[in-house]
Amino acid sequence: MSKPTVLYECEGRVARITLSRPHRLNAINEAMPGELRDAVKRANQDDDARVILLGGAGRAFCSGYDLKLYAEPRGPTPGSQAMPWDPMIDFSMMSENTACFMSLWRSHKPVVCKVHGHAVAGGSDIALCCDLIVMAEDAKIGYPPARVWGCPTTGMWVYRVGAERAKRMLLTGDLVNGREAFEMGLVSQVVPGDELDAAAEAICRRMAGIPRNQLMMQKLMINQAYENMGLASTQMIATLFDGMARHTPEGRRFKTRAEEVGFQQAVVERDRGDIE
């Protein structure tokens, strides 16, 4: 059997969920979204848990989808069909992943995410589905595939920082550090890296002293305001656009380049604007 990509444990009133592909900087493979959803469900069914703490093993929170699996192999991959492509096949796959990430948002128990290293691309989607984010000063967050080969399927950027700041991030694909993320209102707390664990644990302990029903009522009330703004419609179009982005002429050229020189070099060329 393959090793789990997501680990679960509960200590006291805090359920700890850990992304666990540290050899790939916790990059997302086909198993991780479903295992994350299952861990969130387990935490919600765990009578001992009142708060969920989400983190990543090793040197990063999550480096996004594993492009060694999705971009580098020759020929079609789960995220890159042969042409002509069927957008509904792509939508079915990616909307399921989005629903798995959104299990964090829809969890009846609050979710605190601690970010170290990187939370980029699909990793930023996961982090932004959480209720609170505590981030290390030197960590980086952003959505570089906005330059070529992606659209954030959760659409959470605009709901967390508003239209102008979301555009600033998604029209550049830039990364920002923890301090910059805090200043733009993207994360609730930023601390030196060696204080990250303690800061995340402290906010979890603070919330864990509140009855489960109170926590659930407050979260549902706030989330419903965003649902009323059309969150589901935003996510549907974002997920469709994500599939389109991987099958545009530019998206196809990025995939071909990743096959030729490896995804890391293709990403370097993408991020400096070489793919036209």
Segments of the chain scoring below 50 in pLDDT: none
Q: What pLDDT sits at residue 273?
A: 86
Tell me the C-alpha distance between 43 and 37, whole Å.
10
Please give the C-alpha separations between residue 266 and each of 72, 85, 162, 187, 244, in angstroms, as whole numbers. Answer: 9, 22, 31, 30, 19
Tell me the C-alpha distance between 123 and 115, whole Å.
10
Q: What pLDDT sits at residue 75?
A: 87
In a domain, 1, yes or no: no
Parent domain of 107: 6-271
Residues forming a β-bridge with 19: 6, 56
| Contacts for 142 with CB less than 8 Å, ≥ 6 apart | 120, 124, 169, 173, 174, 175, 176
In a domain, 195, yes or no: yes
pTM value is: 0.97
CB 63 within 8 A of CB 267: no
CATH number of the domain at 258, please. Answer: 3.90.226.10
DSSP string for 184-225: TTSSSEEE-GGGHHHHHHHHHHHHHTS-HHHHHHHHHHHHHH
DSSP 121: T
Q: Give pLDDT tens digits for 229-238.
A: 999 999 999 9
In a domain, 39, yes or no: yes
List b or e across 121-144, with b for residues whose CB sees 16 or more CB atoms inside 10 angstroms: bbbbbbbbbbbbbbbbbebbbbbb
User: What is the maximal distance between C-alpha atoms in the chain?
Assistant: 55
In a domain, 276, yes or no: no
* Residue 68, both tokens: 């060694």
Question: For the chain, how many structural domains are there in total?
Answer: 1
